[in-house]
Amino acid sequence: MTSQDTSTPTASLIDISVVVSESTPEWPGDTPYSCRWTWEMSRGDSVNVSCLTGSPHVGTHADAPFHVDSRWPAADLLPLDAFAGPATVIDVSGHDGSLTLASLGLAAGRVAGGRLLLRTGRCIADGPFPGDWPSLAEDTVRELVAGGLRLLGVDAPSVDDRDSKTLAVHRALFEGGACILENLDLRGVTPGDYELLAFPLRIAGLDAAPVRAVLKTLERA
């Protein structure tokens, strides 16, 4: 007779957000992050109050459909349910160029929970802005969306190639009703299945919104 397992699952949280500071690289030509102080206690003020400037694309963020088409919804209208739930992390750091279903090991074109996070190994948390990174082929995106993809996240600065002008991956995802996370920090994340929590800030009219992204894994206590 075997003893009954009385252990209980406990949640372990993994922060996959890039720390934003004035040294965080922005997309070349975009507005960098900066901070100034409206009030400072060191100057005799009663409180410390800061003022931030910078592009919402600096650091971990969710792109909005408005980013690529002025007729489409802005960031404050992003559906929250897409950013919370089961997610699969796949390591593609050994690949260059276009990624196919075979590259991802997803022959059926389906991802558990409909949320896919790609660890490309080209994360801005390492310091410099990367010169290139692997990205999904457009037909692969359409196959994944047809298979139920709800969200694509990458640790690279974009789901498209750095030199892309058409942003075909962005468009294919948005046209299929999927959402986008960029500039994740997946350096210490083991590939596998997790629960994702990554809600965009609700700021009206923006083309993107900052996100605090977290993965949750269950362990036996």
In the residue annotation, 67 being an active-site residue is answered as yes
Residue matched to tokens 């209208």 = 77
Average pLDDT value for residue range 186-201: 96
Contacts of 73 (CB under 8 A, 6+ apart): 64, 65, 66
pLDDT of amino acid 102: 93
Looking at CATH, the fold of the domain delimited by 10-18+57-220 is given as Glucose Oxidase; domain 1 (3.50.30)
Residue matched to tokens 């789901």 = 159
pTM of the model: 0.92
Residue 213: closest CA among 92, 106, 82, 111: 82
Percent helix, strand and coil across the chain, each rounded to 5?
20, 30, 50
The conformation of residue 204, written as its DSSP 8-state character, comes to T
pLDDT of amino acid 197: 98
**Domain segments of the chain as ranges:** 10-18+57-220
Which tens digits make up the pLDDT trace of 13-50? 999 999 999 999 999 999 999 999 999 999 999 999 99
Query: Cα 119 to the chain's mean position, in Å?
Result: 10
Residue 1 has pLDDT above 50, yes or no: no
| CA 167 – CA 162 distance, rounded (Å) | 10
Q: Return the structure tokens found at 64.
A: 């909005």
Considering 61, 67, 95, 170, which one is annotated as catalytic? 67
Q: Of the given ranges (11-15, 62-66, 127-131, 156-160), which has the lowest mean pLDDT?
A: 11-15
**pLDDT band, very low/low/confident/very high, at 181 (cuts 50, 70, 90):** very high
